[in-house]
Structure 1
Amino acid sequence: MSLLLGPVLRHVGETTATVWVQTHSSGVVEVLGCSASTFEVQGCHYAMVLVDGLETGSVTEYQVHVDGEQVWPEPDATFPPSVIRTRGHTANDSLRIIFGSCRYPKTGDAKLDDKLGLDALDCYASRLPSLPVDEWPDALVLLGDQVYADELTPEARRHLAGRRSGGHRPPDEVVTFNEYEGLYRHTWGDPEIRWILSTIPTAMIFDDHDIRDDWNTSGAWRKEVNAKPWWRDRIRSGLASYWVYQHLGNLSPSELADDEDFQKVLAAEGDVWPLLVDLADRADTEVDDDKGLRFSYRWDLGRSRLIMVDSRNARILDSGDRKMLGNREFAWLKEHVNDGLDGVDHLIIGSSLPWLLPPAIGDMQMVNERAANRPGWRGKLGETVRQTADFEHWAAFAQSFLDLSHLIVDVATRDSGAPATVSVLSGDVHHSYVARADIPNAHARVHQLVCSPVHNYVPWFVKPVFKLGWSQRLARLTRRWAQHNGCPPLPFAWRDVNGPLFGNTLATLRTSGRDAEAIFEQPRGSESLDEAARVSLTG
């Protein structure tokens, strides 16, 4: 079969769409009369087809042809035909986004799969054909850990065991681009996942496991891992594969046309791996308080706006001045938050890592950052705690947390033209919740919406820690402790209005006019999910 993976429907506008595929060999890929030649990376072949000429507000079935041969839908397909649904102007400008993070693949190991439970996205995909097309989501937002490059399935471990010789590369972690290719094919290869990715526009951002656990936790972590003889190959392969499999599809056709790296890849002959090595090195290197490549992006969805923030690779660490986002990256975020905000009813910010943690845990991370910055053994102890306890969220970068908080406060308290809601979508922490920010004089309701995991197990210690973390009594104690240790005052308080929920979960953000709500569902059977929580974001 000439189609190895995909099609994956990515950015969709009012008259355009992008469709990504991986093919067995080089060729010309065609979708709805629009075509693109493949490009080659380490013997693997990919194409991004830019589809134009679609009608606004339309639903169009599509097929994929490679060198004139129809390769999608497959002959034995059991799901409905894949479609492209463009956005149009409706009376209430409704929007339905499904989102979540941390999706581990099926392993084939009965004991391990039973521990992981039912895949919420699989179940959602199986249920979807029974719903009218106009009730299908407008977008699927994947908030990190799309692949697990350091927590391998038994099959992936066996595959690597046959490839390793000598001690230069570890036997239990992927290092090469081809090994990453195997992870993506395994993770996205389920029939249910291939179909839903082919028919729901999908936005993605990475988190640490897409590269390696605790990736970019701190400058000390970077220094230690950079000393490993295999790391340079690993980070190049991880960032290059992310660019190919995830990042390209986040860009609109006009952005792809202006993207110098993409245009160089299209113009190159033969294997473009050297171009991707240069790209990965620029993305990984800090230059003048910034990174050499931006992975953050923006989607306009009618009167809603989605801004996805790279809160993992964009970190500034090597200089000793910890920042979740470099100065230029934060300036980009601020510009796109405020651009034409009068026409936005719902501002949605995606960050793989939660902005608002349980208050007690956030205070712990702020105190730990100050400890890790101290010289001598106290700083070393603080750094050990930072890495061991995964203190790497927004609160562990206190100045960046405050910068983002003040930006959101400015939006919510605008005298005129404030959106109805500001929602920060996140994952990572293997439980789900809704937190409401109590911002004085706010005209917009502000919430942190966390959905994690889509398909993974929850460690036993997570439940009591996060239940206790939301205690208001404990929060008062930890805030006094944090202030005693020199932590800055917080610009507002926040509290959980639902959760924490534990178990595999998929969340939906629904808007209608200036109303919005969040719905959390958990698998009950292979084709059904139960509603676990529903929260009004405007009531």
Structure 2
Amino acid sequence: MSFGPVLILREVAPRVVRLAAVYARPEGEAAPRLVAEGRDYEAELLATIDGQRIWRVSFELPRGIEAVYQSDGQAHVVDTAYDGDMRIGFVSCNGEENGDIDRDRDERNAMWKRLADRHGETRLQLLLHGGDQVYADEVTHGHPLSEGWPDDSPETASDTDLAGLRVHLRARFLERYRISYTAPGFARLAAEVPSLMMWDDHDICDGWGSLGAVEETGVGRTLIAAAREAFLLYQHAATEADVPDLFLDPTGRSLSFRRDLPGVSVLAPDLRGERTRSRIMGDAGWAAFEAACDGLEPRVLLVSSVPLLGPRLSLIERAMRLTRRMETYEDDLRDQWQSYAHREEWCRMLRKVLELEAAGHRVTAISGEIHLAVRAELKGHSAPVHQLVSSGISHRAPPKAWAWVLGTLARLGEAPIPEHPIRIRPLPGRGGVYAAQRNFLTLERGGDEWRARWTLEEAGDTPWLTI
């Protein structure tokens, strides 16, 4: 059941890089031992779940070199030279809704292995995870209160029964993370490349935030509490006590975050923590996000877990309401910025992005969620805002017919902000707009220039795109 180290980036300080490493170890087994620059760092116990102890080691590495640390006697190299050329990986959608645990490990993790091999050739310095780091949809199975979630869920339950459900869910979330974090390819990357992660719905359950009143039942609140604990523990090496220091909203209602590296800011709004069927972010999330837009670095990487720029999905969403056979997909479309229910809020976000671009920032939105690869451009005042979508790293691609449908919608165009049209573009070197293959994204800085490249499972690397 062990996993770790999984490195989480805390801060790029003037002389050092501050990191946290998260581990799981069976009860009775010694705490992990981490040594860096001749210093022993003490492990801190964060939680005990299902016979496993979750540990965190907070430590520092010197900035600007290929630094080495030892974890339980094994050496790992971390490239902390963030000041010059930089290489960042981006992944999303690490799993599938049904049967993910039972998939063949080599098939499931083929793209992780390819990314790890690429890192072995040219080191990544940061790995961004854009959502659905695990697919937790089946964690509700096996307990009488949640077996029928969300369609057949009790409106009330006793405190004792809910406490039992919490024990069940905490164990099942740990199991999902263990399987993901011990996967071939992932484990090496996690030990050598600091990560920044933002959750999406499958880190909780399919469609969380768009399911309606069932989310406010005792079962729903127990589920989100267990998912939030797991998100903090395994994706941020944190507990609730750490929230004010790590996230933009000190109240913790929103788990948006910002991390600054030399010349580039990573800004990740939480699009799930306050979501309802009628909003994407609440007052706390918007206040924290807008305050964080001050003092950004010249380059901004906006991690939007669902694509910020996309086709007119509201047309499909409205058509689905005409037939009950399509109602099961309605929450998937309600999840999107482009939903008719979120159009005003979508425009608010687009205006903020355009404000940053007008102030001289180069903004690139990076997203996952749709299990396809695509790019888009929002016409700016002086430079385009690029949207890069890379999804998924292990989720198998949907039928090519769905990619064709989206490509047809893309030709209709979209301009929610007058004089700033959105255009959906093919990947570099490809004809079709949407690529229905598993994929990951690499971003590189060389001098003052940034560029991006997709790696597709079947077609291989695209040409580089200057962004």
Q: How does 1:93-492 map to 2 (within 5 A)?
A: 93-104=84-95, 107=101, 109=103, 119-129=110-120, 131=121, 135-150=122-137, 164=143, 167-170=144-147, 176-217=169-210, 221-227=211-217, 230-248=219-237, 256=242, 259=245, 292-316=252-276, 322-339=278-295, 341=296, 344-358=297-311, 360-361=312-313, 384=327, 387=330, 390-396=333-339, 397-414=342-359, 418-419=360-361, 421-439=362-380, 441-442=381-382, 444-460=383-399, 461-471=401-411, 474-475=412-413, 490=418, 492=420
Cα pair distance change 1:82/1:426, threshold 3 Å: same
Deviation for aligned residue 1:118:
6.0
Q: Give the 3 Å change call, closer, same or farther, for CA 171–224 of structure 1 in structure 2.
A: closer
Q: How many angstroms does 1:364 deviate by? A: 5.3
- Taking structure 1 as reference, are residues 97 and 103 closer, same or farther at Cα in structure 2, changes over 3 Å only? same
Q: Assess, with a 3 A threshold, how the Cα gap between structure 1 residues 45 and 522 changes in structure 2: closer, same or farther.
A: same
| Contact 1:454-1:506 within 8 A present in 2 as well | yes
- Residue 201 of structure 1 aligns with an amino acid whose one-letter code is P
- Deviations 1:288-327 (Å, cap 9, x if unpaired)? xx9743311111111011011111123255xxxx321122
The question of whether the paired residues in 1 share the 8 Å contact of 2:229 and 2:239 is answered with no
Unmatched tracts of structure 1, length 5 or more? 74-80, 262-282, 284-289, 373-377, 480-487
**Conserved 8 A contact 2:101-2:179:** no
Asked whether the 8 Å contact 2:90–2:441 carries over to 1, the reply is yes
Contact 1:437 1:447 survives alignment (8 Å): yes
1:85 aligns with 2:79: yes
**Residue identity opposite 2:288 in structure 1:** W
Cα drift, residue 87 of structure 1: 3.7
Match of 2:363, SS state, is strand
CA displacement at 1:352 relative to structure 2: 0.8
Post-superposition shift, 1:475?
A: 3.2
Q: Percent identity?
A: 20
How far does residue 25 in structure 1 lie from its aligned partner after superposition? 2.4
**Shift of residue 345 of structure 1?**
2.7
CA contact (8 A) 2:79 2:124 kept: no
Q: What TM-score comes out, normalization by structure 1 length?
A: 0.71
Q: Give the Å deviation of 1:222.
A: 2.8
Cα-to-partner distance string for 1:371-401 (whole Å, 9 max, x where unaligned)? 99xxxxx9x98x9587255232112211221
| Partner Cα distance (1:202, 1:308) in 2 | 13
Deviation at 1:258, TM superposition (A): 5.9
Is 1:62 matched with 2:76?
no
Q: How many angstroms apart in 2 are the aligned matches of 1:25 and 1:389?
A: 40
TM (normalized to structure 2)?
0.81
- Of 23, 37, 41, 2:48 maps to 41
Q: What SS does the aligned partner of 1:394 have?
A: coil
**C-alpha deviation, 1:211, in angstroms:** 1.0
- For the Cα contact (< 8 Å) 2:413–2:423, is it kept in 1? no
Match of 2:466 in 1: 536
- Following the alignment from structure 1 to structure 2, what is the Cα–Cα distance between the partners of residues 494 and 429? 18
Closer, same or farther in 2 for the Cα pair 1:391/1:333, shift >3 Å? same
Structure 1 contact 507–520 (Cα < 8 Å) conserved: yes
Cα distance in 1, alignment partners of residues 124 and 438 from structure 2: 19
C-alpha change, 1:316 and 1:104, in structure 2 (3 Å) is: closer
Distance 2:436 2:390 in 1: 10
Please report how far the alpha carbon of residue 338 of structure 1 lies from its aligned counterpart in structure 2 after TM superposition.
Answer: 2.2
Structure 1 residue 169, shift from structure 2 partner: 3.4
Give 1:70-81 correspondences, 5 Å limit: 70=73, 73=74, 81=75
Report if the CA contact (8 A) 1:457-1:503 is conserved.
Answer: yes
Unaligned runs of 5+ in 2: 151-164, 427-432
Q: Which residue of 2 aligns with 1:24?
A: 26
Q: Deviations over 1:229-261 (max 9, x none)?
A: 64333222212111111133699xxx9596499
1:97-137 residue CA offsets vs partner (Å, 9 max, x unmatched): 11121112775555xx79x67632222113432x1xxx311
TM-superposed CA distance for 1:454, in Å, is 1.0
Letter paired with 2:269: V
Paired residues, number: 427
Give the Cα–Cα distance (whole angstroms) in 1 for the partners of residues 109 and 188 of structure 2. 18
Q: Secondary structure at the match of 1:338?
A: coil
For 1:475, the aligned partner's letter is G
Partner of 1:508: 442
Q: Matches of 2:124 and 2:184 in 1, distance apart? A: 19
2: CA distance between counterparts of 1:385 and 1:316? 17
Q: Which structure carries more relative contact order (alpha carbon 8 Å, separation 6+)?
A: 1
Distance across 2 between alignment mates of 1:226 and 1:8: 33
How big is the alpha-carbon RMSD for the aligned residues of Structure 1 and Structure 2?
A: 3.5
Amino acid at match of 1:55: P
Aligned residue for 1:375? none
Residue 428 of structure 1: CA displacement?
A: 0.4
> What is the alpha-carbon distance in structure 2 between the residues aligned to residue 84 and residue 259 of structure 1?
24
**1:456–1:504 Cα contact (<8 Å) kept:** yes
1:57 deviation in Å? 0.5
**Residues 398 and 436 of structure 2 are in contact (CA less than 8 Å); yes or no, is this contact kept in structure 1?**
no
Residues 292, 208 of structure 1: CA spacing in aligned structure 2 closer, same or farther, 3 A cutoff?
same
Note if contact 2:8-2:19 (Cα within 8 Å) is conserved in structure 1. Answer: yes
Give the direction of change, closer, same or farther, for the CA distance of 1:324–1:126 in structure 2 (3 Å limit).
same
Cα deviation, residue 204, structure 1: 0.7
Aligned to 2:430: none
